[in-house]
Structure 1
């Protein structure tokens, strides 16, 4: 059965779709069969990313390892059981159609609380939560005092993950491996950054997640989206010499894949 990776939090702008696409493409380039699913029905950032990739590769006439993207199926109301939620059926049918034919399913969640996202979290073998390095984003995980030193209690997203963990436990499934990424990091070592680092370390022990490095804030990520490319594709599309920023970004991706400790994955790029 496929290993399900859910990339989610309940706040937009943290880089979920960028992480999802780079993770899915990296796994495909490592020889794994990967399918992606975008639960942001309105914006479809990951869906658009994969469409851009297929169009650009066809335009330039090359074939690169890529994840296969799946759309949520439409469900006829008359096929639902009494009291059954249509979105629950859409997600379950999509996953059922993928999990026996691929090694990994990468699910990108919207930056808001939706029924689809809630159910997807209960399906996660690995949950990846990109988090901007600010106390505004930290508030999604926990409430903190005015000085940023004392954790007052878990916040809405942590409570949702806790509920998903309970659902999995009741179903006899393995626990979720929850990894929080410190994403879109700035270059400067500021006091605020150090406070967030210490707060995440304390919170990780309290509510049960691992902290891993994500991506630094780089212009290249915004430039790659229209062509559907990732950092690993640059040399294949004619970039002969990577600049220092691109090399550093590839190293960040390598460290991210290693930190996730996914089954059967050996990083060799």
Structure 2
């Protein structure tokens, strides 16, 4: 602790350089008053007026000891008193700007983390800008996917219409062809099952049929059976009939049987019903 020029006021030895310089400057102004180095209580009384009642002795002490950085208003008021007391010798005073510059230096030292904080703010702003850019890119991709989805729907509709032109004709006793909306999924299942069968992977083909019975509608299931019959995949047909009749609700089994009846596959219609009651 170093004894300063103020009467009975000491300055901490570990004050940052900027704050120490400001504190010494304030003491220099304090020494210019008449009488010099007024006690803190008397100085506070002189600084306090009806228009400016905010200066008490404890605050003045903290400013003159460097425990707190004095605000600009205090520096201006102390400078005005020193200038007034100096009278004709006011020319010997350093300019007010000198002391205001000391204040700026003290504030810079007081905010030793400001550079780091500003850098963090810039990084956060950069991250926010990047997030906004990524969000914009994602929105563009979503819009693009919507467009692609609409295109796929049109392509699927066209494929169904094209498929309807090449469907197997049922037995003459049947009264209609397989509808395009029923056969779209059926063609895929039947084609894949035949591929697995041709590759010698009978187990995979049967597993495919077992899984598809959970997702196909009765109309699609019937269409799959029709296509498999046309491909002469007897074992796959019999397996699909057995799985469907065994695992599906009664209403679905009846609907499949009616569909097969309409396609002229009377034996298969009866087989799926028998599988349901075993």
Q: Shorter-chain TM-score category? A: under 0.3
Largest Rg, 1 or 2: 2
Larger fraction in helix: 2
Larger strand fraction of residues: 1
- What TM-score, normalized to structure 2? 0.22
Q: Specify which structure has the bigger relative contact order, considering alpha-carbon pairs within 8 angstroms and separated by 6 or more residues.
A: 1
